[in-house]
Amino acid sequence: MRIISHRGNLEGPSPQSENKIETIKKCLNLGFDVEVDLWFMSGKFYLGHDYPENEIDYTFFKNEKIWFHLKNLDALENIENVQPKNFFWHQKDKCTITSSGKFWLFPGNFIDSQNAIYVLPEKHKNKSLIETHKYFGVCTDYVYKYI
C-alpha cells in the first residue's frame, strides 16, 4: 500500500506548514509520497492550497513520489511542459483519474480497485470500508497510522 502525505502532513492537519518545501522534503526523506497543491501564475509554478504561495523549481517535477493537485487552469495548461509522473485535477468530483492511471477518490468515496487512492479516509464515518476494499494507497493527514 502506498502512503501519500496530504500536503506534507504527518500527524494531523497543520495549515501553517502545509505545501511548504521543507515539509515536503521531510516527508520524502522519510520515504512517503506527498500530495501537493500546484498553481501556475506569471510563468512560474507555486505551491499553496488557497492561493499560490511558494515558488518551486523545476527539479521538483522529476520526483515520482510527488502527486500534483492542479489548482488553476493555467497549471493544467502548463503541466505538460514539465511532465511529472503524477498529476490530476479535481474539485468535488467523486473520482478523477491521475496521469499515472490511478483513481483519486474524493473523501468519502470508495471503490474496490487496486488502482484506487482513498483520500482522507480518517474523515469517513465508516472507517471499516478501507479494510474491506482493495486499493493502491491512501492520501492522509495521519501517515503514521498506516505504517
For residue 143, give the DSSP letter: G
pLDDT digits 0-9 by tens, 88-126: 999 889 999 999 999 999 998 999 999 999 999 988 876
Give the domain extent around 88. Answer: 2-146
pLDDT digits 0-9 by tens, 45-62: 999 999 999 999 999 999
Contacts of 70 (CB under 8 A, 6+ apart): 38, 76, 79, 87, 88, 89
Q: Structurally, how many domains does the chain consist of?
A: 1
Report percent pLDDT > 70 for the chain: 97
Say what the pTM is. 0.95
pLDDT at 124 (0 to 100):
80
The H or E element that residue 2 is part of is strand 2-6
128 pLDDT band, cuts 50/70/90, is low
Question: DSSP for 25-87?
Answer: HHHHHTT-EEEEEEEEETTEEEE-SSS--EE--GGGGG-TTEEEEE-SHHHHHHGGGT--SEE
